Amino acid sequence: MGIALQLLFTGLGIGSIYALVALGFVLIYRATNVVNFAQGDFAMLGAFSMVVLCIDLEFPYWLGILITVVAMLVFGALFNLAVYYPLRNRGFQPVIISTIGASILLENGVLAAYGPRPQALPSFFSFQGFSVGPIFFDSQYLVILGVTVVMVTLQYLFFERTLLGKKMQATSQDKEMASLLGIPVALMIMLTFIYSSALGGLAGILVAPILFVSVGMGSSIALKAFAASIIGGFGDVTGAIVGGLALGVVETFGSAYISVPYKDAFAFIVLVVFLLFRPQGLFGEKVAEKA
Amino acid sequence: MSGIVSSEAHKPPTERRTGQGRDLLIVFIAAMTVVAPLLLPMTAYYLNLLMQASTYAIAVLGLTIVLGYTGQINLAQAAFFGLGAYSVALGTVSFGLPFWPALFAGIIIASVAGVVLGLTSLRLGGHYLAMVTISFQQILMLVLTNWISLTRGPDGIPGIARPIVFGFSFADSGTYLALCVGVLWVVGFCVGRLKHSKLGRAMQAVRDNELAAGVVGVDVYRTKVIAFTLCALFGGLGGGLFAGGFTYISPDQFGFAESVVFLTMALLGGVRSPFGAALGTALLILLPEWLRFLKVTYLAVYGGAVILIMVFMPRGIWGFLEALRQRLCPLAVLPVGRVAPLPLTTQVAREDGSIILEVNQLSKHFGGLKAVDEVELSVRRNTVHALVGPNGSGKTTLLNVLSGIYKPRNGQLFFDGQAVTRLLPHERAGRGIGRTFQNVRLFTAMSVLENIIVGAERPGNEVTVGSTGVEQHALAALDFVRLAELRNQTVQSLSYGHQRLAEIARALAGSPKLLLLDEPGAGLNTVEKSELVQLMKRLKGHGLTILVIDHDMNLVEQVADRITVLNFGRRIADGPQAEVLRNPEVMAAYLGNVKTHVAP
């Protein structure tokens, strides 16, 4: 029982990371109808930025985090301009391929610059955590869970309570109508990329101390985050969060009780099961093409 | 049907002769490239490079089918390649099989994996497919690396055998390369031929407009699964030959990065032509050798190249060259020879006024919106039946339910005496329901004639079998709408009015018993509209039944025998034209409440 609870705690922590990256997927998908295959690399960039700033340049963590988040905001804008914007009128396939190209470029660019050796980033706090009964609450996992809850709440308030959030929602629902109402659609999409990039970067910052920071970490996280968003119901914000948490838990239990080498396969097996039996996911995507 | 002329009559003789000359030239070049490795002395380094290029190109040709023709993404081609390679490696080394049975097993295993993957994911959108293929790729890598007792893990498998045919050994690298190049040409030829076959046209129709493809009679799901399976098959074949060529393989040769390399090769060369596949593969195999100075960054350059190709050269190098050629020598307007009449009357001339389409209590809701609300409708044979109503009254939704694009919430549909409520769009097309769309949906990258041929190839169409029979039938349909001269043009070069006519011709080529026209007059000028009216009258004269939606009451008055009026998803009037047009409720729906102005 104690072990199970411990695994649950760990699983939720990892799941939060998937949820954050999945949120980025979903937001961009809702705004552009395209899946951004470089979403996981945003996390990779965030993590590497922390390594460069806080280990190589020995900045304090708070400064490293601040610089990383700002850099990711800028990066999101550049990404939008280079990878999405020129192809915005050409259907989803060219854009998907273009984001795949971006993903290869980012991963191998970082590889060329930093080499293949995985880097370790120490935990944010020297305080390791505390025990309650048989469960050890690791401080880094607590930070991850806490930040995820705060981000999800802020995002909810932003989209539901602010005018800008409503404009972005309108853009994702009907671009043509939104532009007729005077909403600058291109700018709204740019803002979506900026926010998603920062969200991905934040996931990378949070996960850096518990995983090794490596070039391949992005695509591995992205694949699971995407699986999570399908499980939750693609295009659904709640689904992305629930799916991400669920996947983290499944994976942690799977590697504890079934097989460690095949740890990464569980996400895909769950994904295939969902695609077969409930392709609309837990919360369901509305699928209807207008003729 | 005595008036069928041979296809020779329509093609100027020169067109045919140059075509033959080109074919001969290609065969000659093919023979030369196969013989060359046998005669030319080559260093082991170049032999290896060419062996890699030819086996990779076979796998890339698979992507030509799935991505280029069918428009579906496959990010696991390296996995299929690996399945073929591991089958040959394990078959010859661990299980002591000869080369050929091992290769055959590899092709089968890869194809089966392709079928299973396709069946599970192709019903869903392109994103899902991309992600499922990546998942498959990752799982296979995990298995290859971790199932050491079978695959020998990361160390890989050395000592893979090369084949022997009738005592003739391919052990020498030169002869083995000749074999690979020979297979490449055969596969390339098949892929090239596929493009202009019924299956190939169906694939391209799915790529260009999935919705229209279904309505025209293409089984979209089946076509996608076949394309995906063929892609996996060629991946397995290429991989099997690759294993024999290099005699050593290990898991890292078949990772996700390699899948992306395959994809890039296809895109760079030009994904819609087998020549593009070969060109892209050759370039990307040779380029890294020439660009050795880039070293670690070359994969990053790859990634950047993918983005640049998508932005600046979306059709790849070969597509770019083809577009250039077309600009230099544009397609001429072809004079039409004698065209057989379109055999419309043979099946539908039954002027007995019986009901061909019956709609019972049909409802379709979108969330809380009752777009179609318990509508009743009967369309009689050999009539023009108009469905009218203000914007948002549910006309197009009803049409979409009729052609099977939307599933109704409840209610029944009977067509030609049989229930069709549960049939898919292509099955309804097979029963003889043809349609056009409000916003023209043609297969934009295909020629006008090819568009019509797809329509003629609907299941159950009574057309002379064989390519000329279908082509003649399509030409007859095109001639019926007076567009036969433009048959070789691309659809995009047609004027809007002509595009509308081409869409009608596509439906006619399927010899429909019932033709659904969704606002055929929208966007047409007065002359084009009167031509449309004439066309509809001619169609009716041939015994065709038409259900037409239009806003233009003038047009409706000229053609309609009966009218059904919808408002807010409900039927508010139904009957002969004159009666319905005088109905006060109809006038209110159209003009507001104008009771005082009603004529006596």
Give how far A56 is from chain B: nearest CA, Å. Answer: 22
Q: CA nearest A106 in B: which residue?
A: B300
- Rounded Cα distance, B212 and B435, in Å: 9
A279/B123 Cβ within 8 A: yes
3-state secondary structure A160-225: HHCHHHHHHHHHHHCHHHHHHCCCCHHHHHHHHHHHHHHHHHHHHHHHCCCCCECCCHHHHHHHHH
Q: Which amino acid is it at B464?
A: T
Helix (H, G, I), strand (E, B) or coil at B542: coil
B310/A101 Cβ within 8 A: yes
Taking alpha carbons only, the member of A214, A206, A32, A43 closest to residue A115 is A214
Taking alpha carbons only, the member of B236, B230, B235, B242 closest to residue B190 is B230
Angle between helices A61-79 and A39-50 in degrees, nearest 10? 150
Q: Does the interface predicted TM-score (ipTM) exceed 0.85? A: no
Q: CA nearest B211 in A: which residue?
A: A291
Helix (H, G, I), strand (E, B) or coil at A247: helix
- Rounded Cα distance, B421 and B362, in Å: 10
| Tens place of pLDDT per residue across chain B (600 aa) | 333 334 444 444 444 445 677 778 888 888 888 878 777 777 888 888 899 999 999 999 999 999 999 999 898 999 999 999 999 999 998 898 889 999 999 999 999 999 998 888 887 766 778 778 888 898 899 899 988 888 888 888 888 888 877 777 777 888 889 899 999 999 999 999 999 999 999 999 999 999 999 999 999 999 999 999 999 999 999 999 999 988 889 998 998 878 888 988 898 888 889 999 999 898 888 776 776 666 667 777 777 887 888 888 888 888 888 888 888 877 666 666 667 777 765 444 455 678 889 888 888 888 778 888 888 888 988 889 999 888 878 888 999 999 999 988 888 899 988 888 889 999 999 988 999 998 889 999 899 999 999 998 888 887 766 667 888 888 888 888 888 888 888 888 889 989 999 999 999 998 888 999 999 988 888 899 999 999 999 888 888 899 999 888 888 888 998 999 888 888 888 888 888 888 888 777 776 655 554 444
Where chain A has pLDDT below 50, the residues are 287-291
> Taking CB atoms and an 8 Å cutoff, what residues of chain B touch A100?
75, 260, 263, 306
A106/B396 Cβ within 8 A: no
> Taking CB atoms and an 8 Å cutoff, what residues of chain A touch B304?
101, 105
- B479's CB contacts (< 8 A; 6+ apart) are B336, B339, B342
Domains of chain A: 2-122+137-277 (1.10.3470)
The domain B354-597: what is its CATH number? 3.40.50.300
- CA distances to B25, B175, B183 from B40, in Å: 21, 11, 19
Which of B122, B134, B365 best tests the A interface by mutation, with the highest count of A CBs <10 A?
B134
- A273's CB contacts (< 8 A; 6+ apart) are none
Distinct helix (H) and strand (E) counts, chain B: 24, 14
> Taking CB atoms and an 8 Å cutoff, what residues of chain B touch A83?
307
DSSP H helices, B10-125, are 13-39, 44-63, 77-93, 99-121
CB count, 10 Å around CB of B366? Answer: 13
Phi-psi region of B382 (alpha: psi -120 to 50; beta: other; left: phi over 0): left
Contact A224, A25 (CB under 8 A): no
- Residue in B71, B142, B296 closest to A112 by CB: B296
A83/B307 Cβ within 8 A: yes
Burial B201-232 (b: 16+ CB within 10 A, else e): bbbbbbbbbbbbbbbbbbbbbebbbbbbbbbb
Q: Dihedral of the CA atoms B408, B409, B410, B416 (nearest 10)?
A: 0
| Domain coordinates in residue numbering, chain B | 28-256, 354-597
CB count, 10 Å around CB of B292? Answer: 9
Helix (H, G, I), strand (E, B) or coil at B580: helix
Q: CA nearest B148 in A: which residue?
A: A261
Residue B79: its pLDDT value, please? 96
